C-alpha cells in the first residue's frame, strides 16, 4: 500500500517545523523546507515515513546551514533597524525583550556541538530515543547521556549570556 502522505503531513508537520526552525532559525524558511520535504516525498513509499521525512529535512537543513548563517546576520541587522523605529510603540519593550531572549537562546544553541544540538532538536520535535538513535546512528543507550549534556550546556550558555546582559545594564 502506498504511503498516505496527507496523513503523514498532518501528523508530523508541527514536529518537523519545530525541528527545522531549530536548525535554520527562521520559521518561514522552516515552512518552506517542510514543503520541500513533502514535495520530495511524493512517489516514495518508505517503510517508516516519519523517519524518512526527518532524514530528508535534516539533509535539506544541512544544505541550508551556510546560507542561513548569512541570512541570520542580515536579519539581525534589519531587526536592529526595525527596533529603532518601533521603540515608541506601547508594547514594543515586551516584544523586544522576547525577541532578544529568542536570539540569546539561538546563540546558546549554536554553542552546542552539532551532534548534541541535533539530538536535542530531535527530542524537542517529539521523537523517541529509538527514533533519534535511528536518525543519528547513535545507540539508544547514548541518547540520554547526549541529552543530559546538551540540556546542561544550553541552560548554562543561556544563563551566562543573561548575566552578561544584566551586568551591561547596570
Partner 1 sequence: MSHATEGELHAHLDGALSAIDPAAAARLAEHLDRCADCRARLDEERAIRACAADLLAAALPSVEEPPFEAVARPAGRPLPSATTHRFMWAASLVVALGAGWMGHALLGGHGDIASSELDGIAQTGSEEKEDRAVGRVSAFGEKAAAPAPEAAAAPEAGAPRDGITRNEIARTNGDWRAVSLEEAERWIATRVLRVPDLEITAVEAAAVEGRRVIRMRQALPGGGVLELVQEAESGREAAKAARPPSTLSVRIGGAWVRVSAPVASDSLRALVSRIR
Footprint of partner 1 (CB under 8 A): 4-6, 9-10, 13-14, 17-18, 21-22, 27, 31-32, 34-36, 38-43, 60, 63, 98, 101-102, 105-106, 108-109, 120, 123-124, 128-130, 140-152, 154-155, 158
Q: How far is the CB of 89 from partner 1 (least distance, A)?
A: 21
Q: List all residues 6 or more positions away from 78 whose beta carbon is below 8 Å from its beta carbon.
A: none
Residue placing its CB nearer to partner 1 in the complex, 7 or 88:
7
Residue placing its CB nearer to partner 1 in the complex, 73 or 156:
156
Residue placing its CB nearer to partner 1 in the complex, 58 or 60:
60
Question: What does the block give as the cell for 100?
Answer: 532578544
Long-range contacts, 107-116 (Cβ 8 Å, 24+): 107/157, 107/161, 108/153, 108/154, 108/157, 108/158, 108/161, 109/22, 109/154, 111/153, 111/157, 112/150, 112/153, 112/154, 112/157, 115/146, 116/146, 116/149, 116/150, 116/153
Query: H or E segment at 103?
Result: helix 92-110
Residue placing its CB nearer to partner 1 in the complex, 55 or 84:
55
Residue placing its CB nearer to partner 1 in the complex, 36 or 86:
36
Locus of grid cell 543573561: 162
Q: How far is the CB of 92 from partner 1 (least distance, A)?
A: 19
Q: How far is the CB of 83 from partner 1 (least distance, A)?
A: 18
Q: How far is the CB of 123 from partner 1 (least distance, A)?
A: 7
Amino acid at each position: 500500500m502506498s504511503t498516505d502522505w496527507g496523513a503523514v503531513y498532518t501528523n508530523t508537520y508541527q514536529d518537523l517545523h519545530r525541528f527545522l526552525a531549530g536548525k535554520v532559525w527562521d520559521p518561514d524558511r522552516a515552512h518552506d523546507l517542510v514543503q520541500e520535504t513533502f514535495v520530495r516525498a511524493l512517489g516514495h513509499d518508505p517503510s517508516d515515513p516519519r523517519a524518512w521525512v526527518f532524514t530528508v529535512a535534516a539533509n535539506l537543513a544541512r544544505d541550508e546551514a551556510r546560507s542561513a548563517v548569512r541570512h541570520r546576520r542580515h536579519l539581525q541587522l534589519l531587526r536592529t533597524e526595525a527596533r529603532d523605529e518601533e521603540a515608541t510603540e506601547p508594547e514594543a519593550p515586551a516584544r523586544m525583550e522576547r525577541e532578544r531572549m529568542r536570539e540569546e537562546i539561538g546563540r546558546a544553541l549554536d554553542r552546542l556541538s552539532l551532534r548534541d544540538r541535533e539530538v536535542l532538536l530531535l527530542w524537542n520535535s517529539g521523537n523517541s530515543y529509538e527514533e533519534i538513535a535511528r536518525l543519528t546512528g547513535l545507540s539508544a543507550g547514548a541518547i540520554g547521556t547526549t541529552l543530559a549534556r546538551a540540556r546542561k550546556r544550553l541552560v548554562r550558555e543561556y544563563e551566562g549570556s543573561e548575566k552578561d546582559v544584566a551586568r551591561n545594564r547596570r
